[in-house]
Amino acid sequence: MFLILNVFEGDSENSRILVATTGAIFILPFFLFSSLAGEVADKYEKSKLIKHIKSMEILIVAIACLGFLITNYYLLLFALFLMGTQSTLFGPLKYALLPQLLEKKELTSANAMLQAGTYFAIMTGTILGGILAGLNGSASKIIIIHILCLAIAGRICAHFIPFAAASDNTIKIRKNLPKATVSIVKEAISDRLNLILIFLISGFWFTSSAFVAAVPTYGKLLLGADANVITILNVAFVMGIGLGAFLCTMLTRDQIRPYLIFLGATGVGLTSFTILAQGTPPISSNLLQFDTFLSSRFAIIFFTQLVLIGAFGALYVIPLYACLQINLRATHRARTIAALNVCNAFFMVLSALFTIVIYRQGANEPQLFGAIGLLNLAVIGAVYPMFNKKWTNLQKT
């Protein structure tokens, strides 16, 4: 995203649209390979699969290193596609592993740590991306060192994952991937509670992917910020997710608290409206830099709003994952998570398309935040009563 913003500097419409659509390269493997990922994860022992997948990541990073060395953006995009494939294979494993190794009362806390860690990694990568993209001369070598060390560290950590037996070793891996993908999604949503949970979780990814893409353009095009200030704004999400995960752990106390889902979604919606209500920052001829950040009222308020969105988002999505894991059939855990990943990817594509349409209508980032905030409030108002009824009935039985 930072490379795009630098290349298309001054071309606000193209930069906004390209930032919103580039993620499709990463998302595409979730459509192509999720069925395969789910079936393999349920058929074989999970810790061994994770070790193989993390070994594959080192090879993918090596391809990316070559792309940085020879400055070949096509090779880098190919590496991004491969990383999407690696994520597709890894996702069902990590979420199916939790209910297999932990007790039900531990799932909320475990998901809180997992979500906080995931978002910390995403945002730390974004922060490093912004810093490293602004370097000259030895930038490629520094980037290569970072990503190689991370990939190797991941493989070392995978070595310590406990043994997790296959869920169903009689599964036959289907070669017709599109048909298999449709099949696992249909099977997953045949359970009404699963359908509601998958829809609500995918809604979270719709919202978060739009907001993550909007923050750099808000900072650069509206605040006139440099890469360091945009990095600070991205830190706000990390702080918010971490705060929300901590609060979720404290408030749940080894119990599922459905009201947190409603509270979180409502908080995201209302906070998004405050960004719209604040309006567009006044045009400034001065570049907003790190040393002037604290003197910008709009920048400080926007930072605070992003922290709140992250915190409310964590309160919303963490209990949803715990509810889904509890409701999964033991023999179909990974395949249901794979179906969830397909739906998440579909909603992220919808989010990119929605964002493009909003921008094509001449809207800017505050108006985008407001529109998505309205969607959040409408969806949670319509769907939460159905979820609460289904969950209550499940608890009684």
pLDDT score recorded for residue 362: 86
Could you tell me the residue range of the domain that residue 228 belongs to? 11-164+178-391
Q: Give the pLDDT band (50/70/90) at residue 83.
A: very high
Q: What is the pLDDT of residues 293-351, one digit of tens each?
A: 878 888 899 999 999 999 999 999 989 988 888 888 878 888 888 899 899 989 988 89
| 349 found inside a domain | yes
Higher pLDDT, 350 or 5: 350
Indicate whether 47 pLDDT > 80: yes
350-373 mean pLDDT: 89
Which stretch, 33-42, 275-284, 285-294, has highest mean pLDDT? Answer: 33-42
Rounded Cα gap, residues 46 and 90, in angstroms: 10
| 173 found inside a domain | no
Indicate whether 207 pLDDT > 90: yes
| 91 found inside a domain | yes
| 5 found inside a domain | no
Q: Give the pLDDT band (50/70/90) at residue 49.
A: very high
| 397 found inside a domain | no
| 4 found inside a domain | no
Q: What is the pLDDT of residues 56-70, one digit of tens each?
A: 999 999 999 998 888
Indicate whether 39 pLDDT > 80: yes
Structure tokens at 112: 């809180």
210-220 mean pLDDT: 86
90-112 mean pLDDT: 85
| 262 found inside a domain | yes
pLDDT score recorded for residue 263: 93
Indicate whether 9 pLDDT > 80: no
Cα dihedral sign, 84-87-64-206: positive
pLDDT score recorded for residue 308: 96
Q: What is the pTM of this model?
A: 0.81
CB atoms within 10 A of CB 4: 18
The half-sphere exposure of 150 on its side-chain side, counting CA atoms within 13 A, is 16
Q: Whose structure tokens read 């699963």?
A: 194
Phi/psi-derived region of residue 253, left when phi > 0, alpha when psi is between -120 and 50, beta in every other case: left
140-162 mean pLDDT: 90
Among 257, 230, 233, which Cα is nearest to 109's? Answer: 257
Q: Give the pLDDT band (50/70/90) at residue 14.
A: low
Indicate whether 139 pLDDT > 80: no
Number of domains comprising the chain:
1
Average pLDDT, whole number, for the chain?
85
pLDDT score recorded for residue 113: 83
pLDDT score recorded for residue 20: 59
pLDDT score recorded for residue 7: 55
Rounded Cα gap, residues 353 and 358, in angstroms: 9
Cα dihedral sign, 343-374-116-216: positive
- Return the minimum-mean-pLDDT range out of 124-128, 193-197, 312-316: 124-128
pLDDT score recorded for residue 151: 94
Instruction: Give the CATH number, domain containing residue 235.
Output: 1.20.1250.20
| 194 found inside a domain | yes
Percent of the chain topping pLDDT 90: 30
Q: Give the pLDDT band (50/70/90) at residue 15.
A: low
Higher pLDDT, 71 or 309: 309
Indicate whether 199 pLDDT > 90: yes
Q: What is the pLDDT of residues 221-272, one digit of tens each?
A: 888 887 778 878 888 887 898 888 888 888 877 677 888 999 999 999 999 9
DSSP 192-244: HHHHHHHHHHHHHHHHHHHHHHHHHHIIIIIS-B-HHHHHHHHHHHHHHHHHH
pLDDT score recorded for residue 266: 95
Helix (H) or strand (E) holding 392: helix 365-396
